[in-house]
């Protein structure tokens, strides 16, 4: 009897152990796919001007079989700050990453830390761009800084060749460097598939951040796409040719005296930096031909990079399907911000204008998300971490400022008290020859209010340079403070700045109240930057 009792107990323990192990892997896997500078207007599912070119059939599948967010926005349209907000669930001033010099150490890599508490195996593969190594992940293999498009070197925690990498002057790390042959989009996908297949703990659910370098400038695509779109005319935005009443004194100067300097252009308008320079168009060709040639070459290179991303997402999907992982994996696709593809004759991101601040955001999870869902609910990248944690079975930590939109994912509808506005702030000022003035603002579903305060948050010597010299960096300069207001319901392309129009006097006053309250609630005020606060106080009621 005693031996029989022991056998029964052992069988019970084994049953409990197996049940526990089985329960531990019933949570959904999560793959977060993010490209660099991939904007909504270059995704077919968003049905914008480039949709007819169909550059993204695989990414479109996520929308067809899941949910598409029409109003997903970043809070700071520049790489490092956006990635920091995604990882921390916090706005820039709270997580300390306001510009490209910011860093996120392992202690602030909150998203993988929280998911590991919930039993997830975590991995980060591809473009990282947050200075310090992603040590909070169980596995990483990442590009240093921007990394290379072709034959890239990536750094990992383990490997064969130990290297000492200087991430910053005061920050040195020993990591293993490996150079891989091929295009970065292919290499990053190879590494993710290898981790999924050979390196992860398969007894646990997994969380994989799969980050492409593409289509970041300067749009170096794989050779197999040399002929893609070669003989195709790429639709050109009307605002590239006629910007009408977009902008203000802050972006155009008095009598348009700054339009040759502020905002990098497609054609000859900006004498400091324009896309024709980067596309090696003969500078002696005058506009409009120079602008047309620059735009066509720019978009073809950009979309060739996008096609490479889409084809590699297809490879990732193929692995998931062949290994019975597709339907138990939440698949998220996004970009780290939007991107200007010639709209308003601008390139790059940084602006609070729609094409720059809007992020594509699509999610597939057939067990919970109804296929073909679309929502105009406002979300931003500070909300991503809380939502992913919620989907994994956790609760949003108190230190995170974002909100989970899991309910919107599952129902397609906004909760009754869901946010009706989002905040934006570009902290840098007149940087990198793109020369975007510093600004902040608020966007609702119908309206947008922007304040260009025009001063860098860092201490500057404003007497050091002269405007006319067009120096390498113009961050020392203060630009004219000015407001812009757009009625998005009637002017979705932001072609008519209506600030000062008496018809909208009460609307603008209400937006300013909301903006002031929002800045206070999310720790985005300027008490630490008295020079900026002085400008805000002096021009708040302009």
pLDDT digits (tens, 9 = 90+) for 202-222: 999 999 999 999 999 999 999
| The pTM of the whole model exceeds 0.85 | yes
CB 28 within 8 A of CB 367: yes
Using pLDDT thresholds of 50, 70 and 90, give the confidence band for residue 472: low
Instruction: Classify residue 461 as exposed, middle or buried by CB count within 10 Å of its CB (0-12, 13-18, 19+).
Output: exposed
Instruction: Classify residue 96 as exposed, middle or buried by CB count within 10 Å of its CB (0-12, 13-18, 19+).
Output: middle
Span of 3-12, 230-239, 316-325, 498-507 with lowest mean pLDDT: 3-12
What is the predicted pLDDT for the residue at 9?
40
Task: Give the percent of the chain with pLDDT over 90.
Answer: 86
Span of 5-14, 327-336, 493-502, 515-524 with lowest mean pLDDT: 5-14
Q: Pairing between strand 439-444 and 421-426?
A: antiparallel
What is the predicted pLDDT for the residue at 468?
52
What is the predicted pLDDT for the residue at 150?
98
What is the predicted pLDDT for the residue at 460?
72
With tokens 């893609």, the residue in question is: 228
What is the predicted pLDDT for the residue at 195?
98
What is the predicted pLDDT for the residue at 165?
65
Looking at residues 94-104, what average pLDDT do you find? 94
Rounded CA gap, 462 and 143, in Å? Answer: 36
CB 243 within 8 A of CB 344: yes
Q: What are the angstrom distances between the C-alpha of 42 and each of 51, 234, 357, 409?
A: 7, 11, 14, 23
Using pLDDT thresholds of 50, 70 and 90, give the confidence band for residue 25: low
What is the predicted pLDDT for the residue at 1?
45
Give 164-175 pLDDT, tens digit per residue: 665 544 555 677
Give 264-318 pLDDT, tens digit per residue: 999 999 999 999 999 999 999 999 999 999 999 999 999 999 999 999 999 999 9
Using pLDDT thresholds of 50, 70 and 90, give the confidence band for residue 7: very low
Give 219-277 pLDDT, tens digit per residue: 999 999 999 999 999 999 999 999 999 999 999 999 999 999 999 999 999 999 999 99
Closest-CA residue to 345 (of 236, 501, 231, 480): 236
Runs of H (alpha helix) within 174-288: 184-194, 238-241, 249-252, 275-278
What is the predicted pLDDT for the residue at 256?
96
Average confidence score pLDDT of the chain? 92
Using pLDDT thresholds of 50, 70 and 90, give the confidence band for residue 2: very low
Using pLDDT thresholds of 50, 70 and 90, give the confidence band for residue 425: very high
With tokens 């899941």, the residue in question is: 66
**SS3 state of residue 358:** strand
Using pLDDT thresholds of 50, 70 and 90, give the confidence band for residue 26: confident
Q: Is the pLDDT of residue 15 over 50?
A: no
What is the predicted pLDDT for the residue at 23?
39
What is the predicted pLDDT for the residue at 167?
53
Rounded CA gap, 118 and 490, in Å? Answer: 46
What is the predicted pLDDT for the residue at 166?
58
What is the predicted pLDDT for the residue at 285?
98
Rg (CA), the chain: 24
Span of 143-157, 159-173, 194-208, 388-402 with lowest mean pLDDT: 159-173
126 bridge partner residues: 142, 211
């Amino acid at each position: 009897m005693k031996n029989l009792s022991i056998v029964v107990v052992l069988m019970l323990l084994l049953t409990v152990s197996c049940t526990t192990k089985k329960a531990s892997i019933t949570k959904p896997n999560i793959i977060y796919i993010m490209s660099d500078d991939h904007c909504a207007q270059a995704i077919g599912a968003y049905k914008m001007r480039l949709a007819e070119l169909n550059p993204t059939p695989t990414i479109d599948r996520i929308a067809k079989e899941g949910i598409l967010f029409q109003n997903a926005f970043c809070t700071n349209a520049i790489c490092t700050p956006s990635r920091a907000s995604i990882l921390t669930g916090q706005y820039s001033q709270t997580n300390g990453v306001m510009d490209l010099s910011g860093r996120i150490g392992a202690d602030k890599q909150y998203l993988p830390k929280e998911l590991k508490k919930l039993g997830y195996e975590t991995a980060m593969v591809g473009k990282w761009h947050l200075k310090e190594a992603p040590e909070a992940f169980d596995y990483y293999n990442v590009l240093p800084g921007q990394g290379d498009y072709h034959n890239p070197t990536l750094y990992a925690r383990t490997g064969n060749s130990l290297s000492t990498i200087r991430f910053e002057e005061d920050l040195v790390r020993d990591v293993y460097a490996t150079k891989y042959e091929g295009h970065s989009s292919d290499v990053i996908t190879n590494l993710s598939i290898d981790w999924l297949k050979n390196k992860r703990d398969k007894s646990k659910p997994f969380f994989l951040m799969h980050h492409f370098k593409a289509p970041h400038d300067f749009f170096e695509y794989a050779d197999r796409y040399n002929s893609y779109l070669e003989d195709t005319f790429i639709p050109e935005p009307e605002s590239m040719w006629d910007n009408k009443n977009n902008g203000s004194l802050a972006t155009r100067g008095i009598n348009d005296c700054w339009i040759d300097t502020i905002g990098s252009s497609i054609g000859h308008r900006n004498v400091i930096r324009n896309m024709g320079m980067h596309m090696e168009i003969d500078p002696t060709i005058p506009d409009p031909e120079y602008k047309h040639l620059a735009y066509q070459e720019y978009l073809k290179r950009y979309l060739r990079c996008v096609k490479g991303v889409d084809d590699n997402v297809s490879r990732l999907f193929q692995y998931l399907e062949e290994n019975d992982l597709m339907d138990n994996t939440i698949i998220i696709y996004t970009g780290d911000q939007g991107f200007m593809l010639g709209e308003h004759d601008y390139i790059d991101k940084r602006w609070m204008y729609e094409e720059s601040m809007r992020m594509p955001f699509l999610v597939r999870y057939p067990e919970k998300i109804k296929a073909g869902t679309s929502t105009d609910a406002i979300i931003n990248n500070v909300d991503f971490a809380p939502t992913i944690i919620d989907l994994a079975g956790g609760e949003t930590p108190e230190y995170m400022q974002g909100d989970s939109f899991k309910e919107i994912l599952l129902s397609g509808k906004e909760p009754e008290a869901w946010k009706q506005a989002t905040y934006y702030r570009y902290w840098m000022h007149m940087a990198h020859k793109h020369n975007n003035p510093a600004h902040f603002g608020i966007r609702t579903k119908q309206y947008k209010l922007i304040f260009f305060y025009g001063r860098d948050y860092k201490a500057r010597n404003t007497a050091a340079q002269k405007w006319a010299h067009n120096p390498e960096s113009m961050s020392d300069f203060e630009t004219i403070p000015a407001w812009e207001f757009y009625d998005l319901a009637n002017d979705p392309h932001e072609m008519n700045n209506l600030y000062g129009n008496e018809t909208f006097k009460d609307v603008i006053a209400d937006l300013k109240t909301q903006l002031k309250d929002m800045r206070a609630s999310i720790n985005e005020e300027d008490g630490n930057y008295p020079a900026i606060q002085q400008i805000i106080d002096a021009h708040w009621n302009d």
